[in-house]
Structure 1
Amino acid sequence: MEMAQHGGPPLRDVVAARRSQRETRRNSWLLVINGGMVMMAYTFISADLVMPAFVQTLTESSILIGMAGALMRMGWAWPQVFISRIIEPRPRKMPLLIWAGMARSVMWILVGVMTFFLGGLKPAIFLFLFMVFYALGTSLMGVMNVPWMDLMGKAIPASHRAKVFALRRFSGGVMSMVAGVLISYILSAQSGLAFPHNYAVLFMLSGSGTALAVLTFGMIREPIEKRTRAQLSLKNYLISGLSLMKEDVNFRRLCMVQFLWGFSMMGGPFYVPYAISGLGIGVVYIGFYVIAMQFSSVFSNVAWAWVGRYKGNQALFLYGTCLLALSILIPICIVYVPNHLLNFWGTEVDLRVVVYAFTFIFSGAAQSGMYSGRMTYVLDIAPADRRPTYTSFMNMFMFPQGLLPMLAGVLVAWISYQNLFRISLLFIPFAAMLAYQLKPVIHRED
């Protein structure tokens, strides 16, 4: 092969490099578009905003309200270790993601149909059936996450991941705000949809959005990497994954930080029920809080991109934890805000509605930073041939946290919403100290 002029690289290498750059740009933009579709679909069934209000309409049990959040966390976490063992040696991960994604799409459309026809008949029986399908849907999310993370690692070079994640979060936030506007309208009297038909529409919209997200992701050209690892037995695979906690200090600290985050965020599923039953805020404001949360999530990415570039991705953990503390302080201090009406363009709004929105503003910014930091950090510290193991075990260690919303439900019934929020706040200093100890990781080009 001829060398380029002036002793440059071979022409073949130049062509290959340019082709690789085009593929990276194409895959990056598809991931950004996919992020918008994913977040829009998820917002329609948000475990922190929509689901608590929906379940509260069917039952007054705070434990069952907490179960919705528990099923989201546990259902998402439990399949990942088993799936990662199976697909890690395989060169292609896309087929599994497409299959699981389309199954989840069909399931939510069917749940919407079931809600439309059965939701208003026998609440107890319907709630049981809904929880079963909800657990299935969250489990399919867990199945999808393993190939998704590996594809992210393969398709996007390490030096580009933080930028792609930030843009993905941006598009997701924009589409979530669009979903928030639709949620406000669908749950309002102006839509003409009464319970349960209004929530049935939200569920079917989520299923349709999931289908669009899967189709977009399926357009990504998956790079084929040579795999040197054979599939281990389940026992040996579990041993190898658990040994990461001992062998990799950064991985151990990452898992400990996210475990403490779980305790700090266990009151999250009860912010909306507290607003409705404790403060008398109308269900119509759920959409407003969705918009506030996603607006914060979107525009905080500008700050997070700066922090990641100049302070390192590990700094996102510390700053995100501090904002999480502020999100907990708002519902604790809201009792001191007077019940005063404000006038916005001819519309009267309770001052507490406005102040309470900062709970979701701080929470959106915090979760955006923590999510971006967590995803980029684990991909940075994981060897290329062990990405599924690192990501799945990181998420598996979150499985016990799935019980925390149910524990929170017990605490609400026992000691009140306010005391639950105070207990959540106690874990913030420990999470901040561990986040401070995370070491910066030098990006490796794949």
Structure 2
Amino acid sequence: MKSETPRPPHIRFNFAMGLIHGILFQTGMAFSAPMSVLPVFLSHFTGSLTMIGVFSALMNVGGVLPQLFVAHRLESKPRKKPVLVVAIWVRAAAWAILGLLTYFCVECNTLIILVALLVLLFTFSFAGGVAGIPFTDIWGKALPAMLRGRFFGYRQLFGGLMAIGAGYVVKQILGDPSLSFPRNYAFLFLLSFVFIAVSYIALSSVREPEGEVHAQPRRLSVFLKQSVRILWEDRNFGWFMLTQLAMGFSALAMPFYVLYGKDKLGMAAEQVGILVGAQIAGAIVSNLIWAPLSDRVGNRIVCILTAATAVMIPLSALLSSTVGWTLLIVVFVLIGVSTSGAGIGFTNYLLEIAPGPLRPAYIALRGTLAGGMFVMPILGGLIVDVYSYPAAFVVSLIALLMAVGFSFKLKPVRSVGASR
């Protein structure tokens, strides 16, 4: 079968630049891990778990809003990198301001700090939503299907090795009595910015190949109508989205595992670094399985096993009430395993089933619908505030069991993916 896109002559350069970006970006985000470091930081400003859930949701909601509109603007453009470059540097700027604000605004009013954090996290997320469409589309064109598993796997593998060191740094900084709050967190945020900025230099260097596009731009109303129709006409994509939506319920409990350990299981704040390291270790080890499984067997099996792994996260958290906070180490190992598998399996499965000219629409539909689960951390906070931590974990567990069932409906598509 004829390839959709000729093998680009600069594939090695792009692979290298993408690898550097993935490694350094993952390292940078480990200093300010959204599921562990940020919730503890925010808990110093508010005792409301619902409010902490709102902040966690902002890491998702901003990314949802622009995706369909960005996809519409880009669907007729053979090169989408200019939009990517602008968006990623807006993200870097937001993180730099967050670090500087935290360092210099020691005596600022708590409300001012919370509002500023809301704005900055939303900006970071929104720009990520803009960048996500061209980013995913570029790798769909730049790398053949049989190489993408290793590409995303190596990014996570070597990035995870670097991020283990970041987890150790987090533990040392938060456990250092000479670094008072909030400047200890400011150092972590600024470290994040430095690594993210360097990673973006590499990503900005990627040489984007041209790909199939719509010859004529469609009106937004037509684009939206035809995009929604994809859900009904492509049944396999429909099952893919149902699986993703059910998997999204993992976010309902995700921000509260570390707070559960701190509030109910007697875990010290400096042990957060251990959990960060455990999450990264889980991602590293699992990449040795996910990457070759994706390339050699296919991404359907990766999606199924990822959903099955995710089920064990809230289940282990429930058992930690008996075993103790150390079982949360297993929880975060499993988070790393499932996150790594989702990053490889679901992303590559989408690239395999999405026709080239419609790839931006497929990417945007996935991002918009799955991103609509941004309410999950808020709902999780409400459940914890009104009922308990275990109640939130049980709700997450039930939805993830449904995700496993949906994932078995996905069709094997390696024969299709190999041509893309």
Q: How many Å apart are 1:222 and its aligned residue?
A: 1.1
- CA spacing shift, 1:124–1:315, aligned 2, 3 Å: same
C-alpha displacement of 1:310: 5.3
State whether residues 102 and 210 of structure 1, in contact with CA within 8 Å, keep that contact through their aligned partners in structure 2: no
Given candidates 140, 160, 167, the residue that maps to 1:173 is 160
Give the CA deviation at 1:306.
Answer: 4.2
- Give 2:151's match in structure 1, choosing from 152, 164, 168: 164
Matches for 1:28-43 after TM superposition, within 5 Å: 28-43=15-30
Change (3 A) 1:179 1:22: farther
**Structure 2 counterpart of 1:321, which letter?**
A
Equivalent pair of 2:27/2:163 in contact (CA under 8 Å): yes
2:148 pairs with 1:154: no
SS at match of 2:408: helix
Map of 2:386 onto structure 1:
414
Q: Distance in 2 between matches of 1:175 and 1:143?
A: 27
Flag the 1:110–1:264 CA change in 2: closer, same or farther, 3 A.
closer
SS at 1:398 equivalent: helix
Partner SS for 1:361:
helix
C-alpha distance in 2, partners of 1:136/1:171?
28
Aligned residue type for 1:264: S
| Cα distance, 1:131 vs structure 2 | 1.0
Give the direction of change, closer, same or farther, for the CA distance of 1:68–1:210 in structure 2 (3 Å limit).
same
Pairing of 1:380-395 with structure 2 (within 5 A): 380-395=352-367
Deviation at 1:22, TM superposition (A): 5.2
User: What residue number does 1:5 align with?
Assistant: none
The alpha carbon displacement at 1:43 in A equals 2.1
**Contact in 1 for aligned 2:26/2:159 (Cα 8 Å):** yes
2:261 to 255, 272, 275: 275
Match of residue 258, structure 1, among 244, 262, 270: 244
The letter of the residue matching 2:22 is G
- In structure 2, C-alpha distance between the alignment counterparts of 1:162 and 1:78, rounded to whole Å: 28
Contact 1:64 1:406 in 2 (8 A): yes
For structure 2, which runs of at least 5 residues remain unmatched after alignment?
1-5
Q: 1:157: how far off?
A: 1.4
- The structure 1 residue matched to 2:368, chosen from 380, 396, 411, is 396
| 1:425–1:226 Cα change, 3 Å | closer
Report the TM-score, using the length of structure 1 for normalisation: 0.89
Which runs of structure 1 show a deviation greater than 4 angstroms over 4 or more consecutive aligned residues? Answer: none
SS at match of 1:397: helix
Out of 362, 365, 368, the residue aligned to residue 340 of structure 2 is: 368
Preserved CA contact (<8 Å) 2:22 2:155: yes
Could you give the per-residue CA deviations for residues 170-228 of structure 1, whole angstroms, max 9, x where no partner exists? Answer: 122122222212211221126x3211101112222222222111110122111123534
Counterpart residue identity of residue 328, structure 2: Y
Q: Distance in 2 between matches of 1:39 and 1:76?
A: 18
Whether 1:242 and 2:228 are equivalent positions in the alignment is yes
Conserved? CA contact 2:300–2:349, under 8 Å: yes
Question: Within 2, Cα distance between the matches of 1:144 and 1:41?
Answer: 18
Verify the 8 A CA contact 1:271 1:331 in the aligned structure 2.
yes
2: CA distance, partners of 1:140 / 1:407: 24
Question: Which of the two has higher C-alpha Rg?
Answer: 1
Partner residue of 1:378 out of 350, 356, 364: 350
Q: C-alpha separation between the residues in 1 aligned to 2:312 and 2:367?
A: 25
Partner of 2:63: 76
1:431, 1:22 → 2: CA distance?
Answer: 40
- Label 1:65 to 1:366 Cα distance change in 2 as closer, same or farther (>3 A): same
The unaligned stretches of length 5 or more in structure 1 are 1-16, 338-351
Letter of the aligned partner of 1:445 in structure 2? S
CA deviations over 1:366-402 (Å, ceiling 9, x no partner): 1111221111000001111221111111010023210
Partner of 1:8: none
CA contact (8 A) 2:316 2:331 kept: yes
- The answer to which of 263-272 and 292-301 deviates more is 263-272
Checking the alignment, whether the CA contact within 8 Å between 1:264 and 1:426 is kept in structure 2 is no
SS state of the match for residue 343, structure 2? helix
Task: Tell me if the contact between 1:30 and 1:216 (Cα under 8 Å) persists in the aligned partners.
Answer: yes
Q: Secondary structure at the match of 2:299?
A: coil
d(CA) in 2 for partners of 1:433, 1:107: 39
Partner deviation per Cα, 1:287-326 (whole Å, 9 max, x = no partner): 1111110111011011223433554211112111111111
Measure the CA separation in 1 of the matches of 2:116 and 2:251.
Answer: 27
Residues 1:428 and 1:227: Cα distance change in structure 2 (over 3 Å):
closer
Distance 1:72 1:110 in 2: 16
Distance 1:399 1:105 in 2: 21
1:290 aligns with 2:276: yes
Cα drift, residue 354 of structure 1: 2.9
For the Cα contact (< 8 Å) 2:102–2:183, is it kept in 1?
yes
- Cα distance in 2 for partners of 1:253, 1:47 equals 29
Question: What is residue 6 of structure 1 aligned with on the other side?
Answer: none
90, 114, 138: which one aligns with 2:101: 114
Given the two structures, how large is their TM-score scaled by the length of structure 2? 0.94
Give the match for residue 433 of structure 1: 405
RMSD: 1.7
User: What number of residue pairs does the alignment pair up?
Assistant: 413
Q: Once structures 1 and 2 are overlaid, which stretch shifts more, 171-180 or 73-82?
A: 171-180
CA distance in 2, matches of 1:21, 1:73: 33
Give 1:301's aligned residue: 287
Letter in 1 for 2:294: G
Alignment match, 1:315: 301
- How far has the Cα of 1:120 moved from its partner? 4.3
